[in-house]
Structure 1
Amino acid sequence: MSSANSKTSDFGNEAVKEYYKFLLIRYYKNWYWFAISLAVCTAVAYLYLRYTQPTYSVQSSVLIKDEQAGSAKENILQELDMFSPKKVVENEMEILKSRALTEKVVDELGFDVSYMVEGRLRDQEIFIDNALRIYVVKANDIAFQKPFEILINKNQVVLEGVSYPYGKVVKTPYGLLQFQKRSANIAHPNITVKINHKDDVVNDLVTSLKISQPRRFSSILVLTQETTLPEKGVAYLNRLVHFYDLASLEDKNKVASNTLRFVDDRLKIIAKELTNVEQNIETYKTSSGIVDLSAESTVFLEKVKDSDTQLNQVAIQLGALQELEKYVQSKPTKGSIVPATIGLEDPTLLGLIKQAVELELQREKIIKTLPETSSAVETIDNQLRITKANISDNATSLKKALLNAQRKFQSSNAKLEAFIRSVPTKERKLLDISRQQSIKGGLYTYLLQKREETALSYASTVSDLRVVDPPKANSTPVRPIRRLVFFITLTLGLLIPTFFIWLTDFFNSKIARKGQIEEITKVPIIGEVVQANVSSPLEVSATSRSVLSEQIRALRTNIQFLNTDNESSQTILVTSSISGEGKSFISLNLAASLAITDRKVILLELDLRKPKLHKYLNISTAKGVSNYLANQATLDEIVLPVEGYPNLYFIPCGPTPPNPSELFSTERMKRLFNDLKESFDFIIADTPPIGLVSDALILAKYSNMTLYIIRHMYTQKAYLKNIATHYSEKRFNNMGLLINGIIPKKDYEYNYGYGGDYGYGYSYTSEYGYSEDKVTKSKKPWYTKITNLW
C-alpha cells in the first residue's frame, strides 16, 4: 500500500515538474511578446520621467521646550507612565498643522496665486525669481476658472492688452487686484498667473505637511513637506515656525500685558490727581503767605503720610481682589481676561493664580485641535474649577484681613484728624493739601516701580521654541524615483505578457497539451499525429516518408503490439467525441498502412449519418453497408478494392437510412463482422462520434480494439470526462487514444520536436484538417520568425 502511495506521489511530483517545464518553454517560445512589452513599458517610463514634475522633500527640526522639565512631580509621573512630554508635544504638533497658522503663512507669502513660465518640456512654477506679486482684493468666478497671461514692464503690467500701474487696487476682468513690484530685475517678463481658492491652498499645505517625533519621549519635532518647488517649501516652513513662535509668546505674555494695561490706566489717573494737588498747594501757599510748617507739624505729616500710604495700598489690593472675584466667577472661554495681581503679595494666592492661568492657556491650545466636549477639555475644566475655588477661598481670607487693616488705618486717621482740628486754620488747610500730595506721590512712585517690574518680566519672556535645523530641501527628488520606476517597468514588462499568455490558457476550453489528457483520464495514448500539409486524404503509401506517414506507421506498430492474438482477425473501431476530429482520415490512412505490410485489410464506412470515406476514395455509394443490413445486397456486391493498394478493400456506407441505430442492432450486422473476420486480417470500422449518437456504443461489442480520436486545439476539455467514464465502465474493448492534428506552434508538448526537427513547413489547411507536405532541406534562420511578425 505504501509502495502504491509512493508511486502515486512520485507521479504527481513528476507531473508538476513537467508542467512547469512546459510553461517555461511556452514563455520562451513567445519571447518576442516579452521584448515588445519591455520596449513599450520602457518608452512609457521614459516619457513619464521626462514630463512628470519632480517632487522634493523639505525638512526642518524644532525643539519644543518644557517649562516644567526636571520637576520632581513630572519625574515621578514619568516613572509611573501617567504623564509624559509626548502628550504636550502631540498638542504642539496639531497646533503647527492648524489652519489658523497656515492661513497666516498663505496671506503673507501669497500662496493663493501661482506664477508659471513656459519651459522646454512643461510649464514651470517660479517663486524667488518672480518680479511680481499680486494681491487678490476681491476675485470673481472667472479668476478661479482659468489662468491668464501677464506682461511685466518697468512701470506697469499688461493684462489682456490693458496696462495697470503698480501699487494701486485696480479693476480687472478677473476682479479687484493689486500689482506689486518685488524686484527691479525682471527675469521673466511673460508669466502665466493662476488664482486659487485660499481654502484649497490651505488644505493642500496642511495635508502635505508631515510632523514626526523621532523618539517617544523626545520633544524634537521634524517638519517635512513635499513640494514641486523647493524654494516655496523652505519659505513655507520658515514662516510657519515664525508664526507659531509669535503665537506662543503671545499666550505667555497675556498676564504681563494685562497687568501693564491696568498699571498704565492707574498711572494716568494718579498723575492727573497729583498734578491737581500740587497746583492746590502752590495756590494756597501763594494766597496765604505760608512758607513752612512747624517741626511738630512736620512729624505729624510724616505719620499721616505713612498711614495714608498703607491705606491706599490696602485699597489697591482690595481693587485687585474685586477683579480676581470676577475672574473666579467667569467661565473659561477663548481669550479670557487674566486678572491683574498688582499689590497682591500672598505667595499661595499668586501660585494659585499662576496655576489657573497656565490651565487656561493649556485649554486654549487643546480646543484648537479637539472639541470642547472632549474628555481632555473636561479634565482641564474640572482642574480650573477646583483651582478657582481655592483662589476664591484664599481671596476671601485675604479680603477679611485687608478690611480689618483698612478699619485700623481709618481709626488711626480719625485720631490724626482730631489733632488737625487743634492746628490753626491756615496750617490745617496746608497740612491737608500736603497730606494729599504725599499720598498721591507715594502711590505714583509705587505704580511706577510695579510698572517697571512688569515691563521687565514682559521683555524677558522667552519662546518655548528653538529651531534645531532650519528648513532645507533635498537635492534629489523623492518622486519620481528613477530606480523604482525602471524596476516597475521591468516587472510590468515581464508580467503583462505572462499574464495574457496565462489568461489565454486559462480561458482556452480546448485540449492544448498532452498533460491535460493525462490529468483527467487514464486511457493509454497509443499514437500522436501532427497536423501536416497533404495533397490527398490518402497520405500513407509504400514510398511516403513524411512526418504524417511515419506517425501512422508508429500507430500501426503500437496496435500490433497491443494485439495479443496474432492468429485471429483484428477488428479496430475508430470513433471520436464530435465531428471534425479526423477519425475518417485516420481510419483511411491506418488501413493503408496496415495494407502495405501484406495484410488483408477492409475499411468499413459505418458513419451512415455523415459519411466521408467514399469521398476521400472517390467511390460510388450506390450499394453499401445500409443495403447489406437491409438485405438488399450480398457481401460480395459491397466489398470494393482500393486502387493502388492490392490488400486494401472498402465497404461504403450506401444510401443514408432513416434508422442507422436499428440497422446496427440486427443479426446481419453480427453476420457481417463474422464473415469479414474469415477473409481479412484487419477490419477498420469508421463509426459516428459517440458525443452525438449511440451507434459506436452498439458496434463496440464487435471490435477487439477501440481507437478514440482526440484533436489538438479542437476537442473540448469537457469531453475528457466522458472518455474517462467510457474507459472506467469498459464500454469499449481495449480502448486507446490517438491525439490528432497536433499544431507544433501551439506548444502541444515541450519535448516533442514537431516540425522543426523534421524540417517540414506549413502553408495551408485543407478540408481534411491537413495540408500538403513541403519538404525543406534545412531549418529556417532564427531571424525569419521576427520577419514574419512584420
Structure 2
Amino acid sequence: MRDHSVNNLNGNGFSSDHQHQEAEIFNLRKALDKVISYWWLLSICLAICLAAAWLYLRYATPSYKVNAKILVQDDSKGSDNGEGVLQQLELFTGKGNVDNEIEVLKSRSLMEKVVRELQLNITYYVEGHVKKIEQFDYLPFTLDWLVLNDSLQKASYTLTIEKDNGIRLTGHDIVKQARWGDTLHLPEGIVKLKREEGYSLNKKEYLININSVDATVARYQKLIDISAPNKQVSIIDLSLVENVPRKGEKILNTLIQEYLQASVDDKNRIADSTIGFIDNRLVLVTKELSGVEKEIQDFKQSNSLADLSEQAKLLVSGSGDFVRQLTELQVKLSVVESLQKYIEDYKNNKRIVPSALVVQDPTFVGLVEKYNTLQLERERLMIANTESNPVVQSIDKQISGLREDIRNNMASFRQGIEASITELQRNSNLLNDKIRQVPAKERVFLDYSRQQAIKQELYLFLLKKREESAISKSSNLAAARIIDTAKSDSSPFTPKRPIIFMIGLLAGLAIPAAIIYLLSMLNTKVLGKEDITSQTPVSVLAEIGHNPNNDIVAVKKDSVTPLSEQFRALRTNLQFIFTQQDEKVILLTSSMSGEGKSFISVNLASVLALSGKKVVLMEMDLRKPKISENLGLENQTGFSTYVIGKTPLESLIRPSSIHENCFVITSGPIPPNPAELLLQPKVKQLFAELRERFDYIIIDTAPIGMVTDAQLLAYLADITLYVVRHGYTYKQQLQLTRELYSQKKMPKLNIVINDVKMSRSNNYGYGYGYGYGYGYGYSVNSNHSSKGILKRATRILKKS
C-alpha cells in the first residue's frame, strides 16, 4: 500500500524536494540556454556592438601621454649640486624645496611664456575624409602675429589655397584675398602670412582656430600634471595628454627650459646687484687709498724720512693691539655707513640690497634675505600686473616695513661700533700721552700709516668679495636638472583598444540579455516550469509536446512518435498516483477553454486502451463539447439525455474509433442548465455502474476557471489532472490551483503541461519529460528494430 505522499512525485518518480534541488543546479544552465535560444539576437547585437567599437577606434582622435622627469636640488632630501666651494664662501647655496618648485612649475607666468613662445593659442587643422586632423610643427605656413589682442574671443578661419597660389581667408563674415608675405588686419590683430620653405601644400584647405592667451594658459595648467612620486625623493614628474605627440613633447620641454632659465636668472640678479655695489665702493676706496699714499709720500719727501726710529718701533709695538682693533671697527663702520647711504637713497628702494659683507648680525642678515626675496617676488608679479594690484601693494608695504627695520638695525649696529671706537680711541690717547716725546713728524707719520692700513684692508676686502661674487655668478646653476626629456608613449593613452573592444563585447552580450530578461519579466504566460513552481505548490505530472497534425488522436497502435511516448510516460506516472485498487476515475479540467483538455483526454484514453485496459471517455463539458465532433460521433443523445431519462445506459456507452478497448460517452445536446444536471442522483449511479464495467474512467470537464462543473464532479473522481498549455495559460490563472490544492477541493490534484514547444530555453525547464529522454532515434518513420525495442519497453511498463 503506497503512502499518499506519492502524490507529490513528478512524472519520473522524483520527489518535489529533489526536483527543486535539481532546478537550482541547472539554474545557470537554464539561463544560458535561454540566451542561446535567442542566438540570432545575440549574433546581431554582438556584430553591431563590435562594429561600433571598431568604428569608434577607427575615427576617434587618439590622445598620447607625454612624460618628463626632473631632479630638484632639495636640501631636505640631501641632494648636492657641487657648490661646496661657494657654500664655504657663505654666498649662494642654489638649493630649493620640492614642494616650492612644483608650485613654481605650476605658476601661470611660466605657462604664459610657453604659450606665447609656441603660439599654443593658435591651432591648425586639415580636413580628412571623416574628421579634422591637427597639424603642429611641420606646417607649410604659419601665421606670424605682429599684434594679437589678449582679450580676444575664440575665432576660426578657413585658409584656402587657390589655383594661382593665391590665398583666401574666410571667417567672421570676412573674406580676404592675399598672397604669401602679405599683412592682414583682422579683428584679432595684425597677422603676416609666412610661407615655410621645404614643406609642400598637400592640402588646399586649412582650418585655423584662434583662442585667447589667457584661456589657453588656463587650459594647459589643468592638462599638465606635476607631482612628486613620493616624499623620499626630490624628483618631479611632469605628464601631459595631447592629441599630437610632438606637440606634447615640445610643450613639456619648453616648460622645463623656461623653469630652469628663470631659476638661473633669479640667482644672477642677486649676484649682479652685489657685484655692482662692490664696484662702486672700490672706486671710492681706491681714490681714498691713493690720496693717503700720496700724503705719505709727500710727508717723507718733505721731511727726508727713510726709516722710523727705534723708539717709534717700540711705541708702535705697544699700541699695535689698539690700532688693529680700531682698524677692524673702522672698517665695519665704513661698510655700515655705505650700506646706510645705499638704503637711505630712495633711488634704490626698488633694488635688491647687497649681501651683508661685514655685518654678521643674524637678525640683520635675515632681514636682508627676506627683503631681497620680496623684491624678487615683486619683480615677478610686475611682469603680468600693475602697481595698483592688491598683491603688489601688499608686497610694497612689506618691503617698506622691512626697509625701515633694516635702517633701524643698522643704526643700532653703527651706534655700537661708534661706542667701541670711542672706547678704543680713549685708550689709544692714554698711550699717546706716553709717547709725546716722540718727534711730531713721527707722530704725523703714524697717523698717515694708520689711515693707509684702514684703506688698504678695506680695498683688499672688497676685491676678495667681488671675486667671490663673480665666481658665484659664473657657476650659477638651475635649481633642478633634467633626468628624462619629454617623450610620448608609443601607444595611445586614450582610447585603449582592448578596453573599447571589451566594452563592445560586453555590450553585445548585455543588450540581448537585458532584452531577453525584459521580455521574460513582461511575459504573463507560462513558458517554463519555474513559472508553474513559483505560482503553485501543485506538482507537474507530465509534459505533452506540440501536436503538429490536426488529428486529435496522436497515440495509435505501433505509434513511436515523441508525442506518443510522452503519453506513455504520462500513463506510467499515473501508476504512482493511484494508491488504491478501486481508484480509476481521472478528471481533467483547466483554467479556460483552448488549453487542450479534450486532446489530453482522448490520447490518455487511447494510451490506456493500448495497454489492454478497458477505458471509457466521458465528454462532460456540457457547454462546449469537442470530443464527439473531433471523433466524428453523432451527439443527438448522450449524458444530457441519459440524466433526464430519455437514453438507457446501454445506449449511452458507445465504441470509439480510437481503439477497441476505448469507449465514449458523449455529452448529448447542450442543456440550458448544465450545473443542475450534474447534481442529479443518476450521475452518481452512472459512475457506480461505470466503475464496475471499466478499468479507467476519464472525465473531460468544462474549465474550472470559468464554471463550477468540474468542482461538482470532483467528489466522483479519484485523480484530478489540471491542464496548463505552454505559451497560452496565464501565470495568474495558476493561483486557482493553489487555492484548490490548499483547500483540497479537487482530489489528488496534479498538473499536465500541454503543447510544449521544443527549444533550448525550456529543454531543462520541464525536467526529464519532453525533450530529454528521446534521443534514441524515435521518429514517425522508425525502422522495425526500433518498434521491437518499443514493444519490449511497453511490456516492462505494463508489469510496473
| TM-score normalised per structure 1 | 0.69
CA distance in 2: counterparts of 1:441 and 1:450, whole angstroms: 14
Q: In structure 2, do the counterparts of structure 1 residues 524 and 8 end up closer, same or farther at CA, with 3 Å as the change threshold?
A: closer
| Match runs of 1:150-299 below 5 Å | 150-151=160-161, 157-160=167-170, 162-164=176-178, 169-172=183-186, 175-181=188-194, 183-188=196-201, 190=204, 191-253=206-268, 255-256=270-271
Query: Which secondary structure does the structure 2 equivalent of 1:744 belong to?
Result: coil
| Match runs of 1:294-305 below 5 Å | none
Q: CA deviation at 1:145?
A: 5.7
CA distance in 2: counterparts of 1:498 and 1:776, whole angstroms: 39
The percentage of counterpart residues that share the same residue type is: 33
Does 2:593 match 1:583?
Answer: no
Tell me the alpha carbon deviations over residues 722-756 of structure 1, each in whole angstroms, 9 at most, x when there is no partner.
43453354332222221111100363224643798
Q: What 5-or-longer segments of structure 2 have no aligned partner?
A: 1-14, 81-94, 292-297, 306-322, 383-394, 427-453, 784-800
8 Å CA contact 1:569, 1:680 repeated in 2: no
| Match runs of 1:36-115 below 5 Å | 36-67=44-75, 70=78, 88-115=97-124
Q: What 5-or-longer segments of structure 1 have no aligned partner?
A: 1-6, 73-85, 279-291, 328-335, 369-379, 412-438, 762-773, 778-790
8 Å CA contact 2:66, 2:249 repeated in 1: yes
Q: In structure 2, do the counterparts of structure 1 residues 560 and 62 end up closer, same or farther at CA, with 3 Å as the change threshold?
A: closer
8 Å CA contact 1:60, 1:471 repeated in 2: yes
CA distance in 1: counterparts of 2:359 and 2:189, whole angstroms: 57
CA distance in 1: counterparts of 2:776 and 2:595, whole angstroms: 24
CA distance in 1: counterparts of 2:689 and 2:169, whole angstroms: 109
Partner of residue 23, structure 2: 15
Q: In structure 2, do the counterparts of structure 1 residues 308 and 384 end up closer, same or farther at CA, with 3 Å as the change threshold?
A: closer
Does 2:338 match 1:316?
Answer: yes
More displaced 10-residue stretch of structure 1: 383-392 or 27-36: 383-392
8 Å CA contact 1:624, 1:653 repeated in 2: yes
CA distance in 2: counterparts of 1:635 and 1:323, whole angstroms: 144
More displaced 10-residue stretch of structure 1: 738-747 or 488-497: 488-497
8 Å CA contact 1:317, 1:344 repeated in 2: no
8 Å CA contact 1:341, 1:350 repeated in 2: no
Q: CA deviation at 1:239?
A: 1.0
Q: CA deviation at 1:64?
A: 1.0
Does 2:619 match 1:605?
Answer: yes
Q: In structure 2, do the counterparts of structure 1 residues 66 and 639 end up closer, same or farther at CA, with 3 Å as the change threshold?
A: same
Partner of residue 134, structure 2: 125
Does 2:485 match 1:478?
Answer: no
Tell me the alpha carbon deviations over residues 17-76 of structure 1, each in whole angstroms, 9 at most, x when there is no partner.
23334344445555555544444444333333332333222221101112466499xxxx
CA distance in 2: counterparts of 1:446 and 1:169, whole angstroms: 59
8 Å CA contact 1:638, 1:652 repeated in 2: no
Partner of residue 657, structure 2: 644
Q: In structure 2, do the counterparts of structure 1 residues 449 and 310 end up closer, same or farther at CA, with 3 Å as the change threshold?
A: same
Partner of residue 429, structure 2: none
Tell me the alpha carbon deviations over residues 667-686 of structure 1, each in whole angstroms, 9 at most, x when there is no partner.
45434433443454433222
Given the alignment, which residue of 159, 164, 167 partners 1:149? Answer: 159
CA distance in 2: counterparts of 1:71 and 1:387, whole angstroms: 32
Q: CA deviation at 1:615?
A: 4.0
Query: Which secondary structure does the structure 2 equivalent of 1:747 belong to?
Result: helix
8 Å CA contact 2:64, 2:491 repeated in 1: yes
Query: Which secondary structure does the structure 2 equivalent of 1:221 belong to?
Result: strand
Q: CA deviation at 1:240?
A: 0.7
Q: In structure 2, do the counterparts of structure 1 residues 32 and 155 end up closer, same or farther at CA, with 3 Å as the change threshold?
A: closer
Partner of residue 578, structure 2: 563
Q: CA deviation at 1:323?
A: 7.7
| Match runs of 1:618-657 below 5 Å | 625=639, 631=644, 633-634=646-647, 636=649, 639=652, 641=654, 644-645=657-658, 647-652=662-667, 654-655=669-670, 657=672
Query: Which secondary structure does the structure 2 equivalent of 1:225 belong to?
Result: strand
Partner of residue 753, structure 1: 771
Q: CA deviation at 1:644?
A: 2.4
Q: In structure 2, do the counterparts of structure 1 residues 362 and 608 end up closer, same or farther at CA, with 3 Å as the change threshold?
A: farther
8 Å CA contact 1:91, 1:366 repeated in 2: no
- The alignment yields a C-alpha RMSD, in angstroms, of 5.4
Q: Which amino acid aligns with 1:181?
A: K
8 Å CA contact 2:161, 2:167 repeated in 1: yes
Given the alignment, which residue of 514, 527, 538 partners 2:542? Answer: 527
More displaced 10-residue stretch of structure 1: 306-315 or 670-679: 306-315
Partner of residue 782, structure 1: none
Q: Which amino acid aligns with 2:27?
A: Y
Q: In structure 2, do the counterparts of structure 1 residues 465 and 309 end up closer, same or farther at CA, with 3 Å as the change threshold?
A: closer
Q: CA deviation at 1:87?
A: 11
| TM-score normalised per structure 2 | 0.69
Q: Which amino acid aligns with 2:704?
A: I
CA distance in 2: counterparts of 1:696 and 1:347, whole angstroms: 117
Tell me the alpha carbon deviations over residues 369-425 of structure 1, each in whole angstroms, 9 at most, x when there is no partner.
xxxxxxxxxxx9xx99999999687445314336658999999xxxxxxxxxxxxxx
Q: Which amino acid aligns with 1:644?
A: S
Q: CA deviation at 1:480?
A: 3.5
Given the alignment, which residue of 713, 722, 726 partners 2:727? Answer: 713
CA distance in 2: counterparts of 1:147 and 1:608, whole angstroms: 88
Query: Which secondary structure does the structure 1 equivalent of 2:124 belong to?
Result: strand
Partner of residue 726, structure 1: 740
Q: In structure 2, do the counterparts of structure 1 residues 346 and 559 end up closer, same or farther at CA, with 3 Å as the change threshold?
A: closer
Q: In structure 2, do the counterparts of structure 1 residues 297 and 210 end up closer, same or farther at CA, with 3 Å as the change threshold?
A: farther
Q: In structure 2, do the counterparts of structure 1 residues 484 and 343 end up closer, same or farther at CA, with 3 Å as the change threshold?
A: closer
Given the alignment, which residue of 709, 725, 734 partners 1:695? Answer: 709
CA distance in 2: counterparts of 1:562 and 1:132, whole angstroms: 95
Partner of residue 5, structure 2: none
Q: In structure 2, do the counterparts of structure 1 residues 747 and 11 end up closer, same or farther at CA, with 3 Å as the change threshold?
A: closer
CA distance in 2: counterparts of 1:98 and 1:776, whole angstroms: 89
8 Å CA contact 1:320, 1:342 repeated in 2: no
Q: Which amino acid aligns with 1:749?
A: N
Tell me the alpha carbon deviations over residues 335-370 of structure 1, each in whole angstroms, 9 at most, x when there is no partner.
x965445676234245323553587599999999xx
